[in-house]
């Protein structure tokens, strides 16, 4: 939502980049030779890990965007419980119909939820829960100009 909160500034940037992969597009596979990629969210399941590793292989600059991606944040609270207990609670204890843990419909959970840098090299960390539209705009503008953004004075964890 913070990305969209850039409002007209997003339109100003739109002609300077090509969006090649996103939950908003119908692209099924991450393309090769991407200049930079913003990845938000922590790594919680096998699909998250597989996608992240593919993105890292195919992108020049990987940006960890937001506290969940940078630290694991709230999703990593699951780490206090065994994954089997989490699945049992979600799919058996808290439902009325169709009780039971699905074994094909959901990707296997990892033992722990972790930030991106636990799996791959991250080039830029942009904290915030969520990062503000101003911080995201600055980050994008700098990357599009070929500079690595210096954001330490603009944001901090949880802000």
117: domain CATH number is: 3.40.50.12280
The parent domain of residue 122 ranges over 4-16+35-75+113-144
Number of folded domains in the chain?
A: 1
Q: Does residue 81 lie in a domain region?
A: no
**C-alpha dist (Å) from residue 39 to 46, 85, 100, 112:** 16, 28, 32, 19
Q: Give this prediction's pTM.
A: 0.89
Q: Does residue 44 lie in a domain region?
A: yes
Q: Does residue 149 lie in a domain region?
A: no
Q: Does residue 8 lie in a domain region?
A: yes
The set of residues, in sequence order, having a beta carbon less than 8 Å from that of 47 and lying 6+ positions away, is 107
Classify residue 83 as left (phi > 0), alpha (psi -120 to 50) or beta.
alpha
Q: Does residue 93 lie in a domain region?
A: no
Give per-residue pLDDT as tens, 78-113.
999 999 999 999 999 988 888 888 878 889 999 999
Q: Does residue 135 lie in a domain region?
A: yes
Give per-residue pLDDT as tens, 21-75.
887 777 888 999 999 999 999 999 999 999 999 999 999 999 999 999 999 999 9
Q: Does residue 95 lie in a domain region?
A: no
Q: Does residue 90 lie in a domain region?
A: no
d(CA 99, CA 94): 9
**39 - beta bridge partners?**
64
Give per-residue pLDDT as tens, 115-155.
999 999 999 999 999 999 999 999 999 999 999 999 888 87
């Amino acid at each position: 939502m913070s990305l969209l909160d850039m409002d007209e500034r997003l339109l100003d940037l739109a002609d300077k980049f090509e969006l090649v992969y996103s939950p908003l597009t119908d692209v099924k596979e991450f393309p090769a030779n991407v200049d930079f990629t913003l990845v938000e969210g922590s790594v919680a399941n096998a699909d998250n890990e597989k996608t992240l590793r593919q993105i890292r292989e195919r992108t020049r600059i990987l940006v960890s965007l937001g506290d969940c991606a940078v630290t694991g944040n709230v999703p990593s609270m699951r780490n206090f419980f065994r994954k089997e207990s989490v699945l049992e609670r979600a799919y058996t204890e808290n439902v009325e119909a169709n009780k039971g843990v699905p074994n094909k419909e959901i990707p296997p959970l990892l033992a722990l939820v972790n930030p991106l840098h636990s799996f791959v090299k991250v080039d830029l960390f942009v904290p915030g829960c969520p990062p503000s539209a101003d911080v995201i705009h600055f980050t994008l503008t700098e990357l599009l100009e070929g500079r690595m953004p210096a954001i330490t004075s603009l944001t901090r964890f949880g802000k």
